[in-house]
Amino acid sequence: MKKKKKRSSAEPAQFFGIRTDLAVEAKELIPQDDGVRTEVTTEDDFTLTKVQIYTEDGAKKMGKPKGTYLTFESEKLKENDTACHNRMIESIAKELRELAKLKENASVLVVGLGNWNITPDALGPKVVHRILVTRHLKNTLPKELMDTVRPTAAISPGVMGITGIETGEIIKGIVEKIHPDLVIAVDALAARKFRRINTTIQMADTGVCPGSGVGNKRMSLDEETLGVPVIALGVPTVVDAATLVYDTMEKMLEEVSLTEEEQAEALRQDQQKRQAILEEMLTPYAQNMFVTPKEVDAVINRLADIIANAINIAVHPGITMEDINQYVF
C-alpha cells in the first residue's frame, strides 16, 4: 500500500469563498516564498510570527497589501493567566512602538471598529472604552506630566447598519478635522482555522478593511484613504461555517485507505459533488454563517484589556506595566 497523499490546504479556496483576515493563514495557502518573508519567534507563553510582503507579486498571491504583519498566538489568551497576559502586553506594546515610530509630539487617534451590540464584533468598542484619552487634557496638565502622555483621542463609530454612514467616511472626516499623526484601528477578524479563534492577535501597518472577513467589505482605512499611517490590531472571533464543514469532510476522506492515484482521482471527481452537498446543507445561509465559541463574552473582555493596555503603554511614554496594574483606564 502506497503512502496516502495529504491534500493541499489551499484546495478549499478554489471552490469556496474561504475568508480569513490573518496573514499567517493566507501564507499557509500559498507555499511559494516569492515576495513573502516569514520569521517565527517562540517565547515561553506565545509565538510571534512576522510576515513581510515586499513585492507586488507577493501581495497578489497573498491577497493583501504590501507591509508587515505580526501575529501573536497563545492558547493562554483564552485563559485567566495574568502573568502571561502581562508579558504579552509588553511584547505587543514593544512591537507597536516599533511599527508606529511616533515622534515626540505626535498625536494618535484610536478607532474601535465593530458593532457593540454583537459580542463577537464588539472588540473594537470595548478597547476604546479602556483607552487613556488625553487630547483634551494635554495643554492643561502640570509640567511634570506633560512629557508622560501623548495627545490621544478615541472613538467607536459604530457600523453602517446603526448609523447609516460609511464607517470610513466618519473616520476620514475626523482625521481631516483633528489631524492625528497616526490612526490605530482595532477590529474583530475572521479566521480560516478554528484553533486560532480568540487565541491570536494580529498587528499590521497596512490598515484595515472593515467587515472584509465576513463578506461585508467597506471603505478601507489606510494611509492612502486617510492621508496618515494606519496600524490595525485585531483578533479573530469567528470562523466561516462552510470552512468547518469542508475541513471535517476532508479529514474523513484522509482516513480512507486509498492509494495516491485513487485519492487524486477521487479528488477530481468528487470536488464539485462535495461543494454541492455543502451548499445544500447551509442554504440559505451558505455565504454568511459564522461560528464563535460559547465563552466569547468573557474572552472578548479579556482580549480588550490586553490590547487596550498594550496601546496605552505604546502610545504614552510615561505609562508602564506598574501603572496598568494599579489603575483601570
* Alpha-carbon 244 to chain mean position: 19
Given this model, what pLDDT does residue 80 score?
A: 87
The domain 20-243+285-326 is placed in CATH, from the list 3.40.50.1450, 3.40.50.2000, 3.40.50.300, 3.40.309.10, at 3.40.50.1450
User: In angstroms, what is the C-alpha Rg of the chain?
Assistant: 21
251 burial type by CB count under 10 A (0-12 exposed, 13-18 middle, 19+ buried) = exposed
- Predicted pLDDT at 320: 84
Helix, strand, or coil (residue 35): coil
Q: To which residue does cell 504590501 refer? A: 66
Show the low-confidence residues of the chain (pLDDT under 70): 1-19, 31-33, 143-144, 211-218, 246-288, 325-329
Q: How far apart are the first and last CA of the chain?
A: 63
Dihedral over alpha carbons 110, 299, 85, 313 (to 10 degrees): 10
pTM attached to this predicted model: 0.82
In the prediction, which pLDDT does 206 show?
94
pLDDT for the residue numbered 72: 97
Q: What is the CB neighbour count within 10 angstroms for residue 58?
A: 21
Question: Whose grid coordinates read 492577535?
Answer: 201
Residue 241, pLDDT score: 75
Q: Tell me how far apart the alpha carbons of residues 50 and 16 are, in angstroms, rounded to a whole number.
A: 27
Inter-CA distances, 65 with 49, 144, 179, 184, 220, Å: 17, 42, 24, 17, 11
Sequence spans of domains, the chain: 20-243+285-326
Question: Does residue 155 sit in helix, strand or coil?
Answer: strand
Q: For residue 8, is it left (φ>0), alpha (ψ between -120 and 50) or beta?
A: beta
3-state secondary structure of 251: helix
The pLDDT value given to residue 40: 94
What pLDDT was estimated at residue 318? 85
Outline where 51-159 has alpha helix (H): 56-62, 82-100, 123-129, 143-146
The grid coordinates listed for 321 are: 506595566
CA 108, 140, 178: angle at the middle one, nearest 5?
Answer: 30
CA separation (Å) from 26 to 31, 192, 209, 260, 283?
10, 9, 16, 26, 26
* pLDDT value at residue 108: 97
